Structure 1
Amino acid sequence: MNASQPSRPPLQPIQKRRAVPRPKRHLRQRSYQLMALETTAKIAVNLAISTAAISALVQLVPYQLTQQDRLREVGTEVKLMQTRVENLQSEFNRNFDPHQAQSIRQQQAYRFDPHQLPVVFVHQDGKEVEVLELLP
């Protein structure tokens, strides 16, 4: 009973599990393929956006040129209207000027003050040139 028992269990060779080597090359190739696919997709999207932008510019440039032509035409019309408005404004001011009221009435009614004498310039060939009214 009191037999001595070995203090150590008997040595048996321990079998190590062999690690199955992962196919690292396939993972690398797959990651490269995914990167290539992603880059191709990015390039395709950028080309599509660039094409859309270029087509929009091609359509907008002629429209912008016609708008510039219209703007030039409107600018010239505005200048013409400004001169016309200035002429009308000066005529309006003259017509409503109380100091010139009598001379305007004489021009419009062709009536003259009885104290004015007409002066007529005549060429030597007998044609009348100008008629002036003078006060005595």
Structure 2
Amino acid sequence: MNAIQPSRPPLQPIQKRRVIPRPKRHLRQRSYQVMALESTAKIAVNLVVTAVAASALAQLLPYHSLQQEKLREISTEVKLMEAHVNGLQTEFSRNFDPQQTRSIMQQQGYRFDPSQRRVVVMNKDRQEDAQTQSSP
């Protein structure tokens, strides 16, 4: 068991495998057919995906334009309301300003400060019409 074994295996003649000739043309034609079929399938799938995408876009574009129109209307209304709110805020701050109290009372109550004189502006055309009608 403890015998020394040779360091290299004994030389044996290398047997050449017998090469069986294969019909290469048939395999090449078959691989070209498989590649052609695969490419055709890829193109068909891509065409279907493109058709579905185009159909989806055709349905979404009118909806998108409708939404844009609604957005424009709402934006216009928001601008109008902002202007209205700004006016109301200005009036509110003016109404609660202690320095403006007298002028607000005069505007709303038609009362005047005793130190002020009342000025009445009359139209000259009206005066002449009134005089001509009352003079006969």
Which structure has more strand as a fraction of its residues? 1
Match of 2:116 in 1: 116
Query: Which digits, 9 at most, give the CA deviation of each residue in 1:74-132, with x for residues without a partner?
Result: 221122122212211221121111111122123222333344332222234349xxxxx
Larger displacement relative to structure 2 (38-47 or 70-79): 70-79
**Equivalenced residues, count:** 110
Alignment of structure 1 residues 6-45 onto 2, 5 Å:
21-45=21-45
SS in 1 for 2:32: helix
Please tell me the root mean square deviation across aligned C-alpha atoms, in Å.
2.3
Match of 1:92 in 2: 92
Which protein shows a greater Rg?
1
Match of 2:82 in 1: 82
SS in 2 for 1:122: coil
Which structure has more helix as a fraction of its residues? 2
One-letter amino acid matched to 1:62 = P
Query: Which digits, 9 at most, give the CA deviation of each residue in 1:26-58, with x for residues without a partner?
Result: 212211111111111111111111111111111
Larger relative contact order (CA 8 Å, sep ≥ 6):
1
Extract unaligned runs of 5+ from structure 1. 1-17, 128-136
Extract unaligned runs of 5+ from structure 2. 1-17, 129-136
Taking only the aligned residue pairs, the percentage that are identical comes to 63
Structure 1 pair 48/117, CA: closer, same or farther in 2 (3 Å)?
same
1:68 aligned onto 2:73: no
